[in-house]
């Protein structure tokens, strides 16, 4: 039995979905609506007391943290290996995934949540918002949500996040100018981890990610968006992600983009 409790196939919540589709592993998808704060509700907290997405349950064993969960999936199940065979390239995979997890993904999350989520809390009752905060188990996550709910994110923090994202875009374009895939000569968990967060950049950051400014990153994005397994995972969402992915494929000229959506 393999159960995946997660949100849309987007960023950390999407990584196990992409990984499992690439390996053709059957699983049960339990949709946790983050917009409705279901990840902070009692039912999900019984599965993951930290209240973070995703959570994966395999034969009674529950794992969290999307990147090590992807390595577990690759080790535990049959299918094509998603880790480079060479130790150096495997190190590169882990190093770049750590960079995404610790630097890039939090920066993009801060920018997106302040643009999309924070405005929804304007005008809501302060006591109700405080009650929502009390349901968030992890203090660091509670502090982040408090800033969103009360529009308290410092402009300097947003500016630093923008700088980090710009640096990452240039860094990965440079990497992909030297090799076909993120960590080496074969598709790997590094590509899944970066794609899960970068898949929408050709529309979300068109001025930074385009054929003129980042030709190598765009080549890689087209190749990833054309992979049947990644397309199948992107279609699993119940919200806006599937339509967004279809629009991106059309923009990128990926064959069969409209039909795949």
**What confidence tens digit (pLDDT) does each residue in 107-143 have?**
999 999 898 888 889 989 999 999 988 888 989 989 9
The CATH number of 2-260 is 3.40.30.10
CA 229 from chain centre, in angstroms, equals 16
How far apart, in Å, are the Cα atoms of 238 and each of 10, 35, 129, 199, 233? 12, 12, 26, 18, 12
| Residue 183 binned pLDDT confidence (cut-offs 50, 70, 90) | very high
- The pLDDT tens digits for 9-53 are 999 999 999 999 999 999 999 999 988 889 999 999 999 999 999
Which residues make Cβ contacts (< 8 Å) with residue 140, sequence separation at least 6?
none
What is the pLDDT at residue 141? 86
Label residues 91-102 b or e (16+ Cβ within 10 Å = b).
ebbbebbebbbe
- The pLDDT tens digits for 212-244 are 999 999 999 999 999 999 999 999 988 889 999
CA 28 from chain centre, in angstroms, equals 19
CA 224 from chain centre, in angstroms, equals 14
Q: What pTM was computed for the model? A: 0.91
Helix (H, G, I), strand (E, B) or coil at 212: coil
| Domain extents in the chain | 2-260
What is the pLDDT at residue 259? 40
* pLDDT at 257 exceeding the cut of 90: no
């Amino acid at each position: 039995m393999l159960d995946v409790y997660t949100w849309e196939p987007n960023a950390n919540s999407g990584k196990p979905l992409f990984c499992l589709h690439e390996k053709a592993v059957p699983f049960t998808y339990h949709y946790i609506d983050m917009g409705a704060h279901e990840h902070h509700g009692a039912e999900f907290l019984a599965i993951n007391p930290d209240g973070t997405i995703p959570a994966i349950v395999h034969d009674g064993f529950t794992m969290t943290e999307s990147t090590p969960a992807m390595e577990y999936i690759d080790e535990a199940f049959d299918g094509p290996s998603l880790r480079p065979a060479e130790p150096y390239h495997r190190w590169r995979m882990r190093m770049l995934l750590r960079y995404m997890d610790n630097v890039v993904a939090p920066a993009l999350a801060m920018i997106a949540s302040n643009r999309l989520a924070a405005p929804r809390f304007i005008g809501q009752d302060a006591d109700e918002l405080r009650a929502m905060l009390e349901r968030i188990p992890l203090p660091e996550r509670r502090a982040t949500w408090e800033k969103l709910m009360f529009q308290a994110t410092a402009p300097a923090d947003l500016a630093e996040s923008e700088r980090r994202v710009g640096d990452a875009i240039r860094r990965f374009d440079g990497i992909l100018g030297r090799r076909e895939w993120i960590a080496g000569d074969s598709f790997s968990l590094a590509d899944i981890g970066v794609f899960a967060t970068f898949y929408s950049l050709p529309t979300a950051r068109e001025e930074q990610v385009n054929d003129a400014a980042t030709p190598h990153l765009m080549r890689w994005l087209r190749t990833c968006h054309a992979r049947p397994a990644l397309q199948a995972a992107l279609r699993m969402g119940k919200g806006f992600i599937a339509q967004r992915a279809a629009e991106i494929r059309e923009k990128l000229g990926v064959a069969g983009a409209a039909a795949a959506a």
